[in-house]
Amino acid sequence: MRFLLGFAACAVVPWIPGLPPFWVTLAGYVGIAAIVALGLVVLTGVGGMTSFGQAAFMGFGAYTTALLTTRFGVSPWLTLPAALLAAGLAAALLGAVVLRLSGHYLPLGTLAMNVALVYVVANLDGFGRNDGINGIPPLSVFGVALTDNRPYLTVIGAALVLALLLTRNLLDSRSGRAIRALRGGRIAAAAFGVRIAEARMVAFVYAALLAGLAGWLYAHMQRSVTPAPFGLGPSIDYLLMAVIGGVAYPGGAVLGAAVVELIHDRLQDLLPLLIGAQGNFETIVFGAMLLLVLQLAPEGIWPHLVRRRAFPPPHPSPSWGGAGRGGPPPLPPRAMPERGAPLLEVSGLTRRFGGLLAVNDIGFAVAAGEIVGLIGPNGAGKSTTFNLLTGVDRPNAGAVRFQGAQFAGLPPQAVARRGVGRTFQHVKLVPAMSVIENVALGCHLRGHAGPLRALLRRDRAEESTLFAEAARQLARVGLADEADRPAGTLALGRQRIVEIARALALDPVLLLLDEPAAGLRHAEKQALAALLRRLRDEGMTILLVEHDMGFVMGLADRLVVMNFGTKLAEGPAAEVRRDKAVIAAYLGAAPA
């Protein structure tokens, strides 16, 4: 509906009587810039990556259509796919090199590409050097050439609304949740099967495609291209727009583009008068503006104008609440191993951090259908053991067999695929995402839709299946009422329970829980214990790290006790409780 209104506005606004042509042209530039900035919202605001090369991706789009139309006489509409392909391919190639590396490689790589592109087009005759390429034909619609900026503004506006629509579609999808988990939730996302490099690539290429579209629009508006608008300076301007508008908000891209273009335009007239000399003095003002915004409104202006979350709740409750009552069919469950069969066998597991032996030659076994408690004082190596079992960290030595297959050294995605779900001692939810979306991230491997299906909204059936499953798991842990709240607003204890629901959404064979009862009230602990017993009765196997001895003693079938990285004892709770070494370790490390 909002998008329909948007399209309608694009058709009407340019024709408002008395609208000065100057404003029409400026609005056109704002629209084009907003499309580029929207790409940065996905890339930077949502995905947490920085690009100093968006103007270059625009350049790929603009020069592609400029060359094809002027040298080869290709019709402008036919060059659109080529322009998108050029920008997308450039991003894919650059991304393949720099996205696997962390840190500053992406900003530096995009920066280098931008400098290189401008250098190439400004120095090769084929690209017209600094004079650029002139005589680009206008777009035509139904045989009418759009030489006037009014109808062209309609085209730009429609492209912007379409870009907003596609961005909504992408972010509200299985691929989108993977992208939204990149900033901060990377380890957890990987533990549920998200391929991080792929999610980064999707965001990067998507942003480049939007920039390519913007470049194509720009070329046919200007009817000529020169290197300057695709340089490093404009690239930084687009980042500025996104940050000032609100880098995590699609609406912020539009707002930021409008604010920056408008001020840019005014300052170019005003500053030379004030200062008495020609020059790009507006840069100084923008620098000051950026500092101000980062100080006063680090999230940008948009969230202060529009009181609303970064993304609307994607699935209004009724659509996923109807599981079983004509709702989507439930996901097929995984085959559970027979109770008592050997499930997890750990031997000689060792992990050194420099001189510290965090895990020292640990060995134990877990049979299907039992609850095993892994206990020990702080720093004993329990969480490290979990990380070694789930591929988050690699052991220096040792073997892990899961359902008979070698496990150690597998990446977290492969561990998840084999049916190991986990929670984290330090809660790793995506705070801005709703509770149910976080849980749906746990179903990542049970869906298949990729970004293309998401963009075209062909993923709705699968999405409602995934959300129905997520809703089922939330109900199972007793948090159905919290489904639509941003996960970061829950009390920490409840966030741990959301993590359990997310792990259950994987349909795990083995559940690894790292201090699930920490921060829970007594009644909540009892409810959790009841839930874990119920899960065991249903055939689930649970390995549990817990500090609350009352909780773990009453729950676990067997205990494994660690201290300073080594195994102190193993056996039924009643026996371990009387073990002298265990008592000494506990009294020594944590006097009660």
Rounded to an integer, what distance in angstroms lies between the CA atom of residue 263 and that of residue 285? 9
CB of 473 to Mg ion, least distance (A): 24
> Residue 440 in contact with residue 468, Cβ under 8 Å?
no
Q: Which is nearer to ligand ADP, 382 or 472 (CB)?
A: 382
Two tokens at 575? 């026996």
Rounded to an integer, what distance in angstroms lies between the CA atom of residue 580 and that of residue 584? 6
Q: Which is nearer to Mg ion, 293 or 545 (CB)?
A: 545
For residue 463, which amino acid is it?
Answer: E
Rounded to an integer, what distance in angstroms lies between the CA atom of residue 206 and that of residue 201? 8
Rounded to an integer, what distance in angstroms lies between the CA atom of residue 194 and that of residue 428? 14
Q: Which is nearer to ligand ADP, 166 or 392 (CB)?
A: 392
CB of 379 to ligand ADP, least distance (A): 4
Which among 20-28, 84-92, 151-159, 380-388 is the span making contact with Mg ion, rule CB under 5 A? Answer: 380-388
Vertex 102, ends 411 and 379: CA angle to 5°? Answer: 60
b or e along 159-174 (b: 16 or more beta carbons within 10 Å of the residue's beta carbon)?
bbbbbbbbbbbbbbbb
CB of 409 to Mg ion, least distance (A): 22
Return the one option of Mg ion, ligand ADP, none that residue 138 interacts with (CB less than 5 to 8 A, by type). Answer: none
CB of 426 to Mg ion, least distance (A): 9
CB of 563 to ligand ADP, least distance (A): 9
Return the one option of Mg ion, ligand ADP, none that residue 378 interacts with (CB less than 5 to 8 A, by type). Answer: ligand ADP
Among the listed residues 168, 40, 189, 169, the one whose alpha carbon sits nearest the alpha carbon of residue 106: 40
Q: Which is nearer to ligand ADP, 382 or 444 (CB)?
A: 382
Q: Which is nearer to ligand ADP, 220 or 382 (CB)?
A: 382
Q: Which is nearer to ligand ADP, 403 or 566 (CB)?
A: 566
Which among 357-365, 423-431, 451-459, 478-486 is the span making contact with Mg ion, rule CB under 5 A? Answer: 423-431
Residues 310-349 that bind Mg ion (CB under 5 A): none
CB of 380 to Mg ion, least distance (A): 8
For residue 143, which amino acid is it?
Answer: G
CB of 546 to ligand ADP, least distance (A): 11
Cα Dmax for the chain: 91
CA torsion, ordered 451, 454, 458, 464, to nearest 10 deg: 120
Which among 376-384, 444-452, 469-477, 486-494 is the span making contact with Mg ion, rule CB under 5 A? Answer: 376-384
Return the one option of Mg ion, ligand ADP, none that residue 167 interacts with (CB less than 5 to 8 A, by type). Answer: none
CB of 334 to Mg ion, least distance (A): 28
Q: Which is nearer to ligand ADP, 295 or 378 (CB)?
A: 378
- Closest-by-Cβ residue to Mg ion is 383
**Which 3 state secondary structure label does DSSP give 446?**
helix
Return the one option of ligand ADP, Mg ion, none that residue 39 interacts with (CB less than 5 to 8 A, by type). Answer: none
Return the one option of Mg ion, ligand ADP, none that residue 380 interacts with (CB less than 5 to 8 A, by type). Answer: ligand ADP
Q: Is 475 exposed, middle or buried (0-12, 13-18, 19+ CB in 10 A)?
A: middle
Return the one option of Mg ion, ligand ADP, none that residue 317 interacts with (CB less than 5 to 8 A, by type). Answer: none
Return the one option of ligand ADP, Mg ion, none that residue 154 interacts with (CB less than 5 to 8 A, by type). Answer: none
Q: Which is nearer to ligand ADP, 282 or 514 (CB)?
A: 514
Look-up: residue for tokens 């996205």? 99
Q: CA separation (Å) from 49 to 42, 231, 550?
A: 9, 20, 45
Return the one option of Mg ion, ligand ADP, none that residue 379 interacts with (CB less than 5 to 8 A, by type). Answer: ligand ADP
Rounded to an integer, what distance in angstroms lies between the CA atom of residue 315 and that of residue 344? 38
Q: What are phi and psi of 356, to 5 degrees?
A: -90, 125
**Which 3 state secondary structure label does DSSP give 416?**
helix
Residue 252: how many CA atoms within 13 Å on its side-chain side?
33
Which among 27-35, 132-140, 396-404, 422-430 is the span making contact with Mg ion, rule CB under 5 A? Answer: 422-430
CB of 378 to Mg ion, least distance (A): 7
Residue 144: how many CA atoms within 13 Å on its side-chain side?
7
CB of 382 to Mg ion, least distance (A): 5
Q: Which of 44, 167, 383, 464 binds Mg ion (CB under 5 A)?
A: 383
CB of 562 to Mg ion, least distance (A): 10
Rounded to an integer, what distance in angstroms lies between the CA atom of residue 231 and that of residue 2? 34
Return the one option of ligand ADP, Mg ion, none that residue 149 interacts with (CB less than 5 to 8 A, by type). Answer: none
Q: Which is nearer to ligand ADP, 476 or 547 (CB)?
A: 547
Give long-range contacts, CB 8 A cutoff, 24+ apart: 138-141: 138/76, 138/220, 138/223, 139/76, 139/77, 139/220, 140/76
Q: Which is nearer to Mg ion, 303 or 376 (CB)?
A: 376
Rounded to an integer, what distance in angstroms lies between the CA atom of residue 485 and that of residue 436? 8
**Which 3 state secondary structure label does DSSP give 330?**
coil
Q: Which of 425, 476, 478, 553 binds Mg ion (CB under 5 A)?
A: 425
Return the one option of Mg ion, ligand ADP, none that residue 376 interacts with (CB less than 5 to 8 A, by type). Answer: ligand ADP
Which residues in this chain contact ligand ADP in the complex, by CB under 6 A? 353, 356, 358, 376, 378-384
Q: CA separation (Å) from 22 to 18, 149, 158?
A: 11, 9, 20
Among the listed residues 469, 41, 548, 533, the one whose alpha carbon sits nearest the alpha carbon of residue 255: 41
What single string gives the DSSP state of each residue in 267-312? HHHHHHHHHSS-S-THHHHHHHHHHHHHHH-TT-SHHHHS-S-SS-
Q: Which is nearer to ligand ADP, 205 or 358 (CB)?
A: 358
Q: Which is nearer to ligand ADP, 84 or 559 (CB)?
A: 559
* Contact residues: Mg ion, CB under 5 A: 382-383, 425
